Amino acid sequence: MLVPSSTLTVVRTATELRRAVDSARALGQRVGFVPTMGALHAGHATLIQAAAADLDAVVVSIFVNPTQFNDASDLKNYPRTEALDFEIARQAGATIAFAPSCDEIYPDGFATTVRPGAIAELLEGEHRPGHFDGMATVVARLLGLVRADVAYFGRKDAQQLAIVEQITRDLAIPTEIRGVDTVREDDGLAMSSRNRRLDRAGRRRALAISRGLFAAQRLADGGERSARTLEAAVLGELAVQHLPVDYVSLVDASTFRPVDALDRPCVLAVACHVGDVRLIDNVRLEPALVVA
HSE-CB of 183 using CA atoms within 13 angstroms: 18
Q: Rg of the chain over CA atoms, in angstroms?
A: 19
The CATH classification number of 9-180 equals 3.40.50.620
What is the structure's pLDDT at 288? 78
CATH 3.30.1300.10 in the chain: give the residue spans. Answer: 193-284
What is the structure's pLDDT at 2? 40
284 burial (CB, 10 Å; 0-12 / 13-18 / 19+) is: middle
Reply yes or no on whether 44 is catalytic: yes
CA angle 26, 56, 95 (to 5 degrees): 90
Cα separation, 184 vs 51, whole angstroms: 19
What is the structure's pLDDT at 70? 82
- Where b means 16+ CB within 10 Å and e means fewer, 166-179 reads bbbeeeebebebbb
Task: Tell me if 34 sits within 8 A of 124, measured CB to CB.
Answer: no
CATH class of 193-284: alpha beta
Residue among 41, 44, 127, 131 flagged as catalytic: 44
DSSP assignment of 76-133, as one string? HHS---HHHHHHHHHHHT-SEEE---HHHHS-TT--------GGGGSTHHHHSTTHHH
CATH 3.40.50.620 in the chain: give the residue spans. Answer: 9-180
What is the structure's pLDDT at 163? 98
HSE-CB of 164 using CA atoms within 13 angstroms: 26
What is the structure's pLDDT at 289? 61
HSE-CB of 23 using CA atoms within 13 angstroms: 11
CA angle 140, 73, 65 (to 5 degrees): 15
What is the structure's pLDDT at 203? 97
**pLDDT of the chain along its 292 residues, tens only?**
344 445 999 999 999 999 999 999 999 999 999 999 999 999 999 999 999 999 999 999 999 999 998 888 888 888 899 999 999 999 999 999 999 999 999 999 999 999 999 999 999 999 999 999 999 999 999 999 999 999 999 999 999 999 999 999 999 999 999 999 999 999 999 999 999 999 999 999 999 999 999 999 999 999 999 999 999 999 999 999 999 999 999 999 999 999 999 999 999 999 999 999 999 999 999 997 644 4
What is the structure's pLDDT at 292? 41
